[in-house]
Amino acid sequence: MASSSRLISRLALVTGGGSGIGQAVCQRFASEGATVVVADLNQDAAEETVDALQRGQKGQRGQIGQGHMAGQVDVSSKDSVKKLITQIQTRYFQPPSVCVNAAGITQDNFLLSLEEEEFDKVIQVNLKGTFLVTQAVAQALVACGASKGSIINMGSIVGKVGNLGQANYSASKAGVEGLTRTAAKELSKFGIRCNCVLPGFITTPMTDSVPDKVINKLLTLVPLGRMGEPAEVADVCAFLASDDSRYITGTSIEVTGGLFIG
């Protein structure tokens, strides 16, 4: 059960907040008192998430984040990211002290058939996008003299172990882990923590197209015997966003149901 107050007074930016894990993170953060900027390439999806947050808060004591905002962003574009950060600072007079980089795509194909464009696009969104948003948020926090911040990057267990048909996705998520560790070392002197969350097989729109027989085969590899839920990844993000994790930086937390233990 969510603590109702861990994230009070926090301004949180969540990319990819229009669906899946990003949307679940927005819901969890709002339930703990944060004001949430829901950013997504799909403006309508971002606005729908904000509407849901506002509806959920009516009459629910504890959901006290105020003035959630929807923003359109292409995380692979530096100009688009800078525009979003400017919009946030113009509205709230401060940069986000919490950032979750959950925007991501897949374009699966076997290595022998993978097109260069398919490789490049996944790297641009998943890895370059995480870099651009992390850099922009960190620059804004340092510029305003903030004494602390928490940046949470969405990796994947396949970044560690690989996965058939996902050379591009695996490479991008391995890169996210390396980026997170380096950012943690460089930004710690400014009080900014950087951590990575590694989901396993999670039920999201990304997995809706996977055939049932493939899902069933994958589940034989998961000791807990089921797919994870986006809310279970959001739980870990809320912990990393809060002061409960104040002595944790540069680490990766697997949310996999025990997949690939050892």
- Other Cβ atoms closer than 10 A to 217: 10
What is the pLDDT, as a whole number, of residue 61?
47
Q: Which residue, among 162, 26, 161, 159, has the nearest Cα to 103 in the 3D structure? A: 26
* Rounded distance between C-alpha atoms, residue 70 and residue 45, angstroms: 9
**Cα(155)–Cα(168) distance, rounded to whole angstroms?**
13
Q: Quick one: average pLDDT of 222-243?
A: 97
Q: Check if 169 is active-site.
A: yes
- The pLDDT of 202-209, averaged and rounded, is 83
Which pTM does this prediction carry?
Answer: 0.94
CATH for 11-255 (3.40.50.720, 3.30.830.10, 3.90.79.10, 3.40.1550.10): 3.40.50.720
Q: Give pLDDT tens digits for 38-87.
A: 999 999 999 999 999 998 866 554 444 469 999 999 999 999 999 999 99
Domain extent listing, the chain = 11-255
Question: Catalytic pick from 169, 171, 175, 204?
Answer: 169
